[in-house]
Amino acid sequence: MPELPDLTIVAEAFHAALAGRSVTLAEAPAPLAVRGTPAELKALVGQRIERIARRGKFLIIELERDAVVVNPMLTGRFQLAAPGTKHPTKTAVVLGFGPRAAPGVPRDAAKWTAGAPWLPADDASAEIRYRDPTQMGKVYLRPAGVDRPIPGLGAEQGPDADDPALTLDVWRSRIKRHPGELKNLLRNQAFVAGIGNAYSDEILHAARLLPLRTRASLAPEEVDELYTSMRTTLARAFDVLRERVPPTFEKQVRDFLAVHDKGGTPCPRCGTTITEIRPGGMITSYCRGCQR
């Protein structure tokens, strides 16, 4: 499942590649993935992209009038490609974009994208293909003036896990309202947005805390350690993913993680064999040797 680090890389790359271009094509080969009408989809054509951003586990494409919001859920993935190349299987939605009018790459593009070889030339066209083999994800069309509800996006969301406004003080105060198990806490989008099954395991390993520990059992310094570990884990993931994901934005890079889905292999910190449990079919990995 794409989480905050994965979607941040996609959003930053797509913003750098596509902002300022106008939609030339909007098609839904798998229309069940789309929440919106065929007319609303068609009406995207001609609109310029203002911004591509991430909020929680959503990718948001802001056009000059309308918006498109994607919740990729478990298996949704995004490809950036040249028109005419073969679509991936199970492509649900294709958005095509024309050449970029002046002034080229947007000024607010993420610095790491500068001069990247995968950026389409300003005079070239480009496409986003959204594919989803399980069709669990959704592509929400948000035409101006249509208040289509998007479950999980909006007021019920907590701050993004990497939001600068989520300071240690804010963290200490927000976490008091959540007494439950730490893994569930980190995955609770109303507490903090963007973290899912994989990165919750990583953050807890970095913080040396067991996933089934409860927040109520934490000492104040452990509450602080959880915050610090969240930030350092995300920062490290950004560094790795920026290097390794482009230009195959549709591939999920997870092999660098320390514990998630690494059950049976030695813990990189202490060498103890990593434990894996599957409550409700969902993999949880942790180290009994160095997590308490």
User: Which residues bind to Zn ion, rule: CB under 5 A?
Assistant: 267, 269-270, 272, 287, 289-290
In whole angstroms, the minimum distance from the beta carbon of 266 to Zn ion comes to: 8
d(CA 5, CA 241): 8
Residue 258 CB, nearest distance to Zn ion (Å)?
9
The span from the CA of 242 to the CA of 222, in Å, is 30
Is the peptide bond between 268 and the residue preceding it cis, with omega within 30 degrees of 0? no
Closest approach of Cβ 175 to Zn ion, in Å? Answer: 24
Closest CA to 230 of 268, 193, 261, 266: 193
The tokens for 207 are 């913080």
User: Least distance to Zn ion from the beta carbon of 268, Å?
Assistant: 8
Nearer Cβ to Zn ion (242/262): 262
Amino acid found at 39: A
Would you say 45 or 290 has its CB closer to Zn ion?
290
| Minimum CB distance to Zn ion smaller for 225 or for 250 | 225
For Zn ion, the closer of residues 94 and 206 by Cβ is 206
Q: What distance in Å separates the CA atoms of residue 58 and residue 248, rounded to the nearest whole number?
A: 19
Please, which residue, 79 or 291, has the CB nearer to Zn ion? 291
Q: What is the DSSP letter of 193?
A: B
List C-alpha distances in Å: 108 to 42, 91, 145, 158, 265: 28, 30, 27, 25, 42
**CB of 257 or CB of 287, closer to Zn ion:** 287
Return the residue nearest Zn ion (CB atom).
267
Query: How many CA atoms lie less than 13 Å away from 157 in the CB half-sphere?
Result: 17
Our CB check for Zn ion shows the closer of 22 and 275 to be 275
CB of 274 to Zn ion, least distance (A): 8
Shortest distance, CB of residue 197 to Zn ion, whole angstroms? Answer: 19
- Shortest spacing between CB 267 and Zn ion, in angstroms: 3
Nearest residue (CB) to Zn ion, 106 versus 211: 211
Nearest distance from C-beta of residue 205 to Zn ion, angstroms: 7
